[in-house]
A and B are shown apart, each in its own frame.
Chain A
Amino acid sequence: NAGVTQTPKFQVLKTGQSMTLQCAQDMNHNSMYWYRQDPGMGLRLIYYSASEGTTDKGEVPNGYNVSRLNKREFSLRLESAAPSQTSVYFCASPAGEVNTGELFFGEGSRLTVL
């Protein structure tokens, strides 16, 4: 099925460990986004990529790095995980080649940092 695929779905890390969240979309769109959602809160934008090879900071970029190596994939890296990064992470991309604002979200990656 067309859409946004995130891996892993669940991950537990110890403080200081590093990991990369992977996101792939098959809708052939230029834009991709990473959001995080803490319990009881709305989504907050971490980073986004308007096109292949470009990335921009969102509301809460500190502690994260991103990489957009090709049109399909947009990865989010935690270099040194902290308990404050315990959250659910969502990747999103517009549903189609024209960005009308209709975003398609992945199922989320649930990260716990101990």
Chain B
Amino acid sequence: DSGVTQTPKHLITATGQRVTLRCSPRSGDLSVYWYQQSLDQGLQFLIQYYNGEERAKGNILERFSAQQFPDLHSELNLSSLELGDSALYFCASSLLVAGELFFGEGSRLTVL
């Protein structure tokens, strides 16, 4: 158990819909990262937050947004969903700015 909690574990929705994925980092970790894992794209970095502030942005679509709240949990919002958004979405947290990441078990999103 990494200490990182992601909900929901599985989510099935339709194209055009909007979903929110939630991540609770390990106790004390200030950094939260979001990744998308799909068969054809591998593990793609989406966005990083540090203590509530956006720190780095990767290949995140404009239809996606994220935020980190004062209690350090984070949410990833995916809107206008397309079939290609079907993937496993991982959250990871880190104590240090450049420390190792601890991953949650992921949220599997299926868009029909």
A binds B: no
A residues apposed to B, CB below 8 Å: none
